[in-house]
């Protein structure tokens, strides 16, 4: 059995001393002060003196190693013993080779596939508890927010598409009804004194059908379905109108308190 150790760093590789100091202060407040989390880099040590982690690169694997606690890109913070693995050193080397193929550097994503996610996967394969939730909490929160925003935008777009489709179906239906009524009125027998055949229309019925045809045409002219682009333009016009109303309201407030 071998001990599995998590090494945690403050992410201070921005290139700006002011930004790096700000990150350290954020981590002190949100982690040390209220125990919520922060902006951290993590790595796993098992068998030997090196730690293993994951980062971005354009080509090849993103999995890399360095002496434990001595990654020059970050500021070392602390270590946590996660437990002991039953994996042999041979099996650990095999796991690391597999992860090196599965985690290419170009797939790195700050919110959904970062060093902390890699450490979670490695711990799972080593059979020890995953890293504490506070280490990667900010990334999880950001990823969830993006997912919610993306789903909301997709639903709005889908609703617009369904609205346009439904209006087109209704328009075609009303067009067919109007066409049938108009054809019926034009093809009916006039009032010429001849006896009315079964199934034909008298002059009174003809007048009603002409009236109904004109009425439905009027509806179609005013209710022709808009395209997705037209709907978007109407929304922009509405937003512009609301913005102008808010501006006028603010202007009146300024005049009121002068």
- Cα 121 from chain centre: 24
Sign of CA dihedral 192, 198, 204, 209: negative
Looking at the DSSP bridge assignments, the partners of residue 121 are: none
Residues 116 and 114: their CA atoms lie apart, in Å, by 5
**Helix, strand, or coil here: 14?**
coil
Length of the chain: 258
**Helix, strand, or coil here: 51?**
strand
Is position 240 annotated as part of the catalytic site? Answer: no
Looking at the DSSP bridge assignments, the partners of residue 76 are: 9
Q: What is the DSSP string of 220-258?
A: HHH-PPPPHHHHHHHHHHHHHHHHHHHHHHHHHHHHHH-
Catalytic choice (41, 87, 117, 123):
41
Looking at the DSSP bridge assignments, the partners of residue 192 are: none
Task: Tell me if 47 sits within 8 A of 2, measured CB to CB.
Answer: yes
Catalytic choice (115, 117, 119, 123):
115
Is position 7 annotated as part of the catalytic site? Answer: no
Task: Tell me if 228 sits within 8 A of 170, measured CB to CB.
Answer: no
Active site residues: 41, 115
């Amino acid at each position: 059995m071998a001990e599995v150790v998590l090494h945690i760093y403050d992410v201070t590789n921005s290139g700006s001393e002011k930004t790096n100091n700000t990150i350290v202060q954020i981590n002190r407040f949100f982690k040390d002060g209220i125990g919520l989390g922060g902006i951290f880099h993590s790595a796993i040590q098992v068998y030997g003196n090196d730690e293993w982690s994951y980062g971005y690169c354009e080509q090849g694997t993103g999995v890399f190693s360095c002496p434990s606690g001595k990654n020059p890109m970050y500021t070392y913070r602390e270590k946590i013993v996660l437990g002991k693995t039953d994996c042999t050193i041979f099996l650990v080397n095999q796991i690391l080779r597999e992860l090196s193929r599965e985690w290419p550097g170009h797939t790195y994503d700050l919110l959904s596939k970062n060093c902390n996610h890699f450490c979670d996967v490695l711990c799972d394969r080593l059979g020890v508890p995953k890293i504490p939730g506070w280490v990667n909490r900010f990334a999880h929160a950001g990823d969830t927010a993006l997912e919610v925003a993306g789903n909301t935008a997709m639903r709005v777009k889908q609703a617009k598409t369904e609205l346009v489709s439904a209006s087109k179906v209704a328009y075609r239906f009303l067009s067919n009804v109007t066409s049938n009524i108009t054809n019926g009125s034009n093809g009916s027998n006039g009032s010429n004194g001849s006896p009315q055949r079964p199934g034909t229309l008298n002059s009174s019925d003809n007048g009603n059908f002409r009236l109904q045809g004109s009425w439905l045409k009027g509806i179609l002219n005013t209710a022709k379905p808009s395209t997705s682009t037209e709907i978007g333009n109407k929304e922009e016009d509405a937003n512009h109108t609301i913005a102008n109303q808010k501006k006028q309201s603010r202007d009146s407030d300024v005049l009121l308190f002068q």
